[in-house]
Amino acid sequence: MEKQDYSEEYLKTLNIPEHVAVIMDGNGRWAEAKGEPRTYGHTVGSEVVEEMVEIASDLGIKFFTVYAFSTENWKRSEGEVSVLFFLFSVYLKKLIDKSKKNNVRCRIIGDKTMLDDELNAVIDELEDSTKDNTGLTFLIAINYGGRDEITRAVKKVFGEVKKGDLSIDDITEDVLTDHLDTKDIPDPDLLIRTGGEQRISNFLLWQCAYSEFYYCDTCWPDFDRDELIKAVEWYNKRDRRFGGVK
Ligand code: FPP
């Protein structure tokens, strides 16, 4: 894509979505097209994640969520899974210091019980050391599945009913929302999927009920600031009615 020269004045005219979520697809294909192993795409992809957090924050996005590993991604080869988890570990450790400097609050969503103790310790340190930061909130979905998240939320709610802390009549959408991994996080306004596919792939199923979906052919390792602004420009043309009539 030809580089655009977006002026600060122009960017100020845009309605910036509060929460942007991304399905970072196309790493493997991008690498294979270059004659490289798929994991090279993930390595470059993790560098793009790092850049995007800063770019999203500069643009005024308040919540930024990336889909790093789904509950279905365990089906990949052992080699690919282990490279991905190596990258998560390196990246999250780096994020501890970086987020302190950038005032970024980090949260990991997904079923963490399947992650090893070492990674869980890094996650705890990252979440704890950044919890009072007031800038961008950055959510990373690891071993995340929308159906799994809803199932876990239902189990938690049922546990409270069983204990007598909650009655069935008190179960509302808000109660369910408060038992999801994304508790206290507003729903995504804009969901971006790179890599040319047009499906939700079990990502934030509950939360995306009224999100605007933007698809682009660019593979994640090539995604950049211009691409993000293009998605925001597209979002600005949407007429959000949330089921109502204007
Ligand atoms: C989908 O592309 C991508 C993934 C399953 C992994 C995403 C991970 C990263 C971008 C790197 C690490 C992330 C962090 C947060 C450090 P694919 O490989 O399925 O693409 P394909 O459709 O071309 O095969």
Asked if residue 174 is part of any domain, the answer here is: no
What is the pTM for the complete model shown?
0.96
| pLDDT for residue 3 is more than 80 | no
Integer Cα distance of 183 and 153 in angstroms: 10
Integer Cα distance of 203 and 171 in angstroms: 23
Asked if residue 153 is part of any domain, the answer here is: no
Count of domains for the chain: 1
Q: Select which of 5, 25, 174, 178 is catalytic.
A: 25
pLDDT category at 241 given cuts 50, 70, 90 is confident
Mean pLDDT of 66-90: 98
pLDDT category at 5 given cuts 50, 70, 90 is confident
Asked if residue 172 is part of any domain, the answer here is: no
Asked if residue 195 is part of any domain, the answer here is: yes
- Per-residue pLDDT of 32-71, as tens digits, reads 999 999 999 999 999 999 999 999 999 999 999 999 999 9
Asked if residue 230 is part of any domain, the answer here is: yes
pLDDT in the model for residue 92 = 98
pLDDT in the model for residue 63 = 98
Cβ neighbour number for residue 95 with a 10 Å cutoff: 22
Question: How much distance in Å is there from the Cα of 49 to the middle of ligand 1?
Answer: 10
Between strands 137-144 and 190-193, the pairing is unpaired
Residues having CB closer than 6 A to ligand 1 are 24-29, 38, 41-42, 45-46, 49, 66, 68, 73, 87-88, 91, 140, 195, 220
Q: Which residue has the tokens 């704890």?
A: 128
Out of 22, 23, 25, 64, mutate this one to test ligand 1's pocket (max ligand atoms within 8 Å of CB): namely 25
- Per-residue pLDDT of 8-25, as tens digits, reads 999 999 999 999 999 999
- Per-residue pLDDT of 110-164, as tens digits, reads 999 999 999 999 999 999 999 999 999 999 999 999 999 999 999 999 999 999 9
- Whether 9 contacts 177, CB under 8 Å: no
Q: What's the CATH number where 222 sits?
A: 3.40.1180.10
Question: How much distance in Å is there from the Cα of 221 to the middle of ligand 1?
Answer: 9
Mean pLDDT of 90-96: 97
pLDDT in the model for residue 157 = 98
pLDDT in the model for residue 244 = 85
| pLDDT for residue 169 is more than 70 | yes
Question: Which residue has the CA at smallest separation from atom 22 of ligand 1?
Answer: 26
Q: Select which of 27, 73, 148, 170 is catalytic.
A: 73
Asked if residue 2 is part of any domain, the answer here is: no
Out of 74, 220, 222, 224, mutate this one to test ligand 1's pocket (max ligand atoms within 8 Å of CB): namely 220
pLDDT in the model for residue 140 = 98
Asked if residue 95 is part of any domain, the answer here is: yes
H/E segment holding residue 22? strand 19-23
Give the residue with greater pLDDT, 121 vs 246.
Answer: 121
Question: How much distance in Å is there from the Cα of 220 to the middle of ligand 1?
Answer: 8
210 SS3 class: coil
Query: 25 an active-site residue?
Result: yes
Question: How much distance in Å is there from the Cα of 91 to the middle of ligand 1?
Answer: 14
pLDDT in the model for residue 128 = 98
Question: Which residue has the CA at smallest separation from atom 3 of ligand 1?
Answer: 25
Q: Which domain holds residue 48?
A: 17-145+188-236
Asked if residue 121 is part of any domain, the answer here is: yes
- Per-residue pLDDT of 198-239, as tens digits, reads 999 999 999 999 999 999 999 999 999 999 999 999 999 998
pLDDT in the model for residue 243 = 84
Integer Cα distance of 233 and 14 in angstroms: 7
Give me 33's structure tokens. 């097209």
